[in-house]
Amino acid sequence: MTRAAARAHWAKAPDFGDDPDRAARVHAATQRDREHYLQGGMREIECRACHACVLVKKTSSFHTSVQWNADARSRCLGLEQMRAGGDDGNGPLLPGAMMPTCVRLSASIDHGVAEGIIPAESPTTDPDGYW
């Protein structure tokens, strides 16, 4: 925020400082949104090669969200090979990927979809009631 905006008591969104009940409701709704968008629909999948566990959600046949944690990043053989400068079939980026992706983990995700562990697409109705 600029100094001029601060002096004018301007904010992009109201803070509801004069209405604590409304502020609490907005905070609770924000927490629900955060949970929905960051965790909703995520399923744990284990790489069949290195046993790294990540959270995965497929929103379409073309879009897969993967949340890595520190343990999974340290276990992943494909990422280790990329860090060491080797390739072994793991190019720097798969088409459309936002970060380097291990082909072994991608195969494990595809296997999870084929086995029904991971839904192939988002549901037509949202279990959280957003749509």
Whether residues 75 and 15 fall in one domain: no
130 closest CA partner among 31, 53, 32, 42: 32
User: Do residue 101 and residue 63 come from a single domain?
Assistant: yes
In the block, tokens 């905006």 appear at 5
Looking at the whole model, is its pTM more than 0.85?
no
Q: Is residue 125 part of a domain?
A: no
Which residues are CB-neighbours of 45 under 8 A, at least 6 positions away? 53, 54, 55, 56, 108, 109, 112, 117, 118
Is 119 part of a structural domain of the chain? no
Q: Which domain holds residue 30?
A: 11-38
Question: Is position 88 within any domain?
Answer: yes
Q: Do 71 and 86 fall into the same domain?
A: yes
125 pLDDT tier (thresholds 50, 70, 90): low
Output the average pLDDT for the chain. Answer: 80
Quick check: 26 and 16 in contact, CB under 8 A?
yes
Identify whether residues 107 and 49 lie together within a single domain: yes
Q: Give me the mean pLDDT over the 49-57 stretch.
A: 93
Read off the pLDDT of residues 69-117 as tens digits, 9 standing for 90 and up: 999 988 998 888 777 765 555 555 555 556 667 889 999 999 999 999 8
- In the chain, the number of structural domains is 2
| Pair (32, 48) in one structural domain | no
DSSP state of 22: H
Residues 33 and 48 occupy one common structural domain: no
Percent of the chain with pLDDT over 70: 73
C-alpha pair distances (Å), 117 with each of 38, 55, 65, 69: 19, 12, 15, 20
